[in-house]
Amino acid sequence: MKRICLLAICLSLLCGAEAHAYTAAERQYCWPEVMRLCSYGQIAEATLGHYGGIVACFKAHRRELSRGCVDAIRKAHGK
Protein backbone atom coordinates (compact mmCIF):
# COMPACT_ATOMS: atom_id res chain seq x y z
CA MET A 1 0.00 0.00 0.00
CA LYS A 2 2.85 2.36 0.86
CA ARG A 3 4.37 1.82 -2.60
CA ILE A 4 1.07 2.59 -4.32
CA CYS A 5 0.72 5.87 -2.41
CA LEU A 6 4.32 6.82 -3.16
CA LEU A 7 3.84 5.99 -6.83
CA ALA A 8 0.74 8.21 -6.98
CA ILE A 9 2.70 11.07 -5.42
CA CYS A 10 5.59 10.55 -7.82
CA LEU A 11 3.35 10.53 -10.85
CA SER A 12 1.52 13.67 -9.83
CA LEU A 13 4.78 15.55 -9.35
CA LEU A 14 6.43 14.27 -12.49
CA CYS A 15 3.39 14.95 -14.66
CA GLY A 16 3.21 18.54 -13.51
CA ALA A 17 -0.12 18.17 -11.72
CA GLU A 18 1.03 20.50 -8.99
CA ALA A 19 -0.09 24.11 -8.90
CA HIS A 20 3.43 25.49 -9.39
CA ALA A 21 4.71 24.88 -12.90
CA TYR A 22 8.13 23.38 -12.40
CA THR A 23 10.38 23.37 -15.42
CA ALA A 24 11.29 20.10 -17.06
CA ALA A 25 14.89 20.63 -15.93
CA GLU A 26 13.84 21.08 -12.30
CA ARG A 27 11.81 17.88 -12.43
CA GLN A 28 14.59 15.97 -14.17
CA TYR A 29 17.47 17.06 -11.97
CA CYS A 30 15.76 17.69 -8.63
CA TRP A 31 13.29 14.82 -8.39
CA PRO A 32 16.00 12.33 -7.27
CA GLU A 33 17.04 14.88 -4.64
CA VAL A 34 13.49 15.21 -3.36
CA MET A 35 13.16 11.44 -3.05
CA ARG A 36 16.56 11.05 -1.39
CA LEU A 37 16.52 13.97 1.02
CA CYS A 38 12.94 14.96 1.83
CA SER A 39 10.39 13.27 4.07
CA TYR A 40 7.21 11.64 2.80
CA GLY A 41 5.24 14.39 4.54
CA GLN A 42 7.09 17.11 2.64
CA ILE A 43 6.54 15.27 -0.63
CA ALA A 44 2.85 14.75 0.12
CA GLU A 45 2.38 18.44 0.91
CA ALA A 46 3.99 19.34 -2.42
CA THR A 47 1.41 17.29 -4.29
CA LEU A 48 -1.23 19.50 -2.68
CA GLY A 49 0.53 22.67 -3.78
CA HIS A 50 2.36 23.43 -0.53
CA TYR A 51 6.07 23.66 -1.35
CA GLY A 52 7.40 25.09 1.90
CA GLY A 53 8.45 21.65 3.06
CA ILE A 54 10.48 20.95 -0.08
CA VAL A 55 12.08 24.40 0.12
CA ALA A 56 12.95 23.77 3.79
CA CYS A 57 14.29 20.33 2.90
CA PHE A 58 16.50 21.76 0.16
CA LYS A 59 17.76 24.53 2.46
CA ALA A 60 18.59 22.01 5.18
CA HIS A 61 20.42 19.78 2.70
CA ARG A 62 21.83 22.44 0.38
CA ARG A 63 25.33 20.92 0.44
CA GLU A 64 23.93 17.55 -0.60
CA LEU A 65 22.06 18.80 -3.69
CA SER A 66 23.49 17.79 -7.05
CA ARG A 67 25.02 20.42 -9.28
CA GLY A 68 22.33 19.74 -11.90
CA CYS A 69 19.54 20.44 -9.42
CA VAL A 70 21.15 23.63 -8.14
CA ASP A 71 21.72 24.88 -11.70
CA ALA A 72 18.12 24.05 -12.72
CA ILE A 73 16.71 25.95 -9.72
CA ARG A 74 18.93 28.97 -10.36
CA LYS A 75 18.04 29.06 -14.05
CA ALA A 76 14.30 28.69 -13.40
CA HIS A 77 14.26 31.44 -10.79
CA GLY A 78 16.67 33.82 -12.50
CA LYS A 79 19.44 33.62 -9.92
Range of the domain at 20: 2-76
Instruction: Report the pLDDT value the prediction gives residue 50, as an integer from 0 to 100.
Output: 86
Mean pLDDT of 16-24: 57
> Cα separation of 31 and 38, whole Å?
10
From the DSSP assignment, how many helices (H) and strands (E) are in the chain? 5, 0
What percent of the chain has pLDDT above 90?
A: 38
Query: How many domains, in total, are found in the chain?
Result: 1
Distances (CA, A) of 36 to 19, 25, 60, 75: 22, 17, 13, 22
Mean pLDDT of 17-40: 80
Instruction: Report the pLDDT value the prediction gives residue 76, as an integer from 0 to 100.
Output: 83
Statement: residue 51 has pLDDT above 50 = yes
Mean pLDDT of 64-73: 93
pTM equals: 0.67
